[in-house]
């Protein structure tokens, strides 16, 4: 057993020497590569500088003349028209992709060639979704038991039930509201079916407000009657409403508060029910800086230089392989 120990030590020393030699070769190769890169850039410094200036100039020109702009409209689909809204946007997306300018002009858009894209997405508002209905809360709780809550709130089936949605229109160059945004909103609000629903819904809201006002007035009468009766200022009559200690006066007051709150909500709903697709706010001509938009002055110089490096590498590779082929023939 002892005779194998020196051999093992010698093998380990040989292995360590080979590893250190390989590491040294790697560093040497890297230094050689780095030197060649520096020499290449020094040798071609003038050409690279010219390409950089040229790319920067062309990029500046394109950034200033080929600007794209975002126009955002926050809308509320009323009367259960969310699916109708999304189907309309899908149709417009198809028409824009087909470059169907005749259709876009037919709905009133004056500069159809400027439009490059239209999208819609919900504004995620989980708390508003839950507060809107107790059933929504129970549904969301049930769905979250079988999956990730974060993905569920963004899922299409759930997100379409949020109150607010953002329509984004992308155009080449600036535009005016009357040339693109307003015709788009007019088109979205053109529906005989939802117009009829709108008229009925508005009448229902008005009737509900009127009924609640009448009930509140009746409650006020009861409370005044009770107050006068309790203070002894009211003359007793056969029509007097008598109260005893078992009267649920607190419930009456809570009912009044609930009705007043409901009246306020109904008035807000009535205010926003003047359109099928209610536009709440509009922001136009916001420069789009996503992707390469506005960055060509930085991207093009790099692209030109990389193309130059590729061409020089290809030429050098071709010459080297041609020389090898000639040596083999010789």
pLDDT tens digits for 131-186? 555 555 555 555 555 555 555 555 555 666 778 899 999 998 888 888 889 999 99
Q: Residue 62: name the closest of 292, 327, 328, 310 by CA.
A: 292
Domain count, the chain: 3
Does residue 95 sit in the same domain as residue 166? Answer: yes
- 43-70 average pLDDT score: 85
- Residues contacting residue 189 through CB under 8 Å, at least 6 positions apart: 275, 276, 277
Q: Is residue 117 part of a domain?
A: yes
pLDDT at 133: 57
Does residue 188 sit in the same domain as residue 204? Answer: no
pLDDT at 89: 94
Does residue 188 sit in the same domain as residue 39? Answer: no
pLDDT at 186: 93
Query: Tokens 């003038």 correspond to what residue?
Result: 46
Does residue 246 sit in the same domain as residue 264? Answer: yes
- Residues contacting residue 36 through CB under 8 Å, at least 6 positions apart: none
The residue with greater pLDDT, 239 or 135, is 135
Checking if the pLDDT of 41 tops 90, the result is no
State the pLDDT confidence band at 1, using cuts at 50, 70 and 90: very low
Q: Is residue 1 part of a domain?
A: no
Does residue 101 sit in the same domain as residue 143? Answer: yes
Checking if the pLDDT of 238 tops 50, the result is no
Q: Is residue 115 part of a domain?
A: yes
The residue with greater pLDDT, 16 or 259, is 259
% pLDDT > 70, the chain: 77
Checking if the pLDDT of 242 tops 50, the result is no
Checking if the pLDDT of 327 tops 80, the result is no
Does residue 79 sit in the same domain as residue 214? Answer: no
Q: Give the chain's mean pLDDT.
A: 79
Q: Is residue 8 part of a domain?
A: no
Q: Is residue 3 part of a domain?
A: no
State the pLDDT confidence band at 118, using cuts at 50, 70 and 90: very high
- Residues contacting residue 158 through CB under 8 Å, at least 6 positions apart: 129, 140, 143, 152
Does residue 121 sit in the same domain as residue 133? Answer: yes
Does residue 97 sit in the same domain as residue 132? Answer: yes
pLDDT at 176: 86
Query: Tokens 């002055």 correspond to what residue?
Result: 297
- 62-70 average pLDDT score: 80
- Residues contacting residue 120 through CB under 8 Å, at least 6 positions apart: 85, 86, 89, 165, 166, 167, 168
Does residue 75 sit in the same domain as residue 58? Answer: no
Q: Residue 187: name the closest of 75, 288, 286, 270 by CA.
A: 75
Does residue 265 sit in the same domain as residue 281? Answer: no
The residue with greater pLDDT, 140 or 118, is 118
Checking if the pLDDT of 128 tops 70, the result is no
Q: Is residue 203 part of a domain?
A: yes
Q: Is residue 155 part of a domain?
A: yes
Checking if the pLDDT of 85 tops 80, the result is yes
Checking if the pLDDT of 103 tops 80, the result is yes
Q: Is residue 5 part of a domain?
A: no
Does residue 268 sit in the same domain as residue 307? Answer: no
Instruction: For residue 311, give its domain range.
Output: 14-63+296-329
Does residue 247 sit in the same domain as residue 260? Answer: yes
State the pLDDT confidence band at 59, using cuts at 50, 70 and 90: confident
State the pLDDT confidence band at 239, using cuts at 50, 70 and 90: very low
State the pLDDT confidence band at 188, using cuts at 50, 70 and 90: very high
pLDDT at 135: 57
């Amino acid at each position: 057993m002892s005779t194998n120990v020196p051999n093992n030590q010698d093998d380990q020393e040989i292995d360590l020497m080979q590893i250190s030699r390989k590491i040294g070769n790697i560093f040497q190769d890297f230094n050689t590569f780095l030197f060649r890169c520096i020499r290449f850039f020094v040798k071609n410094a003038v050409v690279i500088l010219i390409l950089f200036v040229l790319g920067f100039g062309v990029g500046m020109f394109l950034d200033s003349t080929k600007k794209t702009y975002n126009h955002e409209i926050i809308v509320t689909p009323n009367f259960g028209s969310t699916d109708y809204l999304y189907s309309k946007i899908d149709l417009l997306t198809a028409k824009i992709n087909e470059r169907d300018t005749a259709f876009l002009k037919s709905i009133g858009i004056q500069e159809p060639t400027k439009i490059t894209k239209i999208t819609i997405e919900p504004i995620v508002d989980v708390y508003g979704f839950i507060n809107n209905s107790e059933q929504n809360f129970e549904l969301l709780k049930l769905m979250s038991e079988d999956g990730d809550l974060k993905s569920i709130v963004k899922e299409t089936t759930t997100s379409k039930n949020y109150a607010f949605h953002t329509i984004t229109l992308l155009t080449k160059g600036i535009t005016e509201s009357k040339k693109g945004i307003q015709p788009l909103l007019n088109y979205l609000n053109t529906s005989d079916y939802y117009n009829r629903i709108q008229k009925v819904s508005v009448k229902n809201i008005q009737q509900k407000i009127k009924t609640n006002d009448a009930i509140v007035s009746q409650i006020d009468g009861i409370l005044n009657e009770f107050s006068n009766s309790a203070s002894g200022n009211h003359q007793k009559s056969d029509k007097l409403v008598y109260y005893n200690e078992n009267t649920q006066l607190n419930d009456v007051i809570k009912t009044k508060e609930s009705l007043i709150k409901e009246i306020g909500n109904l008035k807000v709903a009535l205010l926003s029910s003047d359109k099928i697709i209610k536009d709440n706010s509009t922001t136009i001509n916001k420069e789009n800086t996503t992707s390469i938009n506005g960055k060509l002055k930085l991207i093009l110089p790099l692209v030109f230089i990389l193309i130059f490096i590729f061409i020089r590498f290809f030429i050098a590779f071709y010459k080297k392989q041609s020389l090898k082929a000639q040596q083999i023939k010789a």
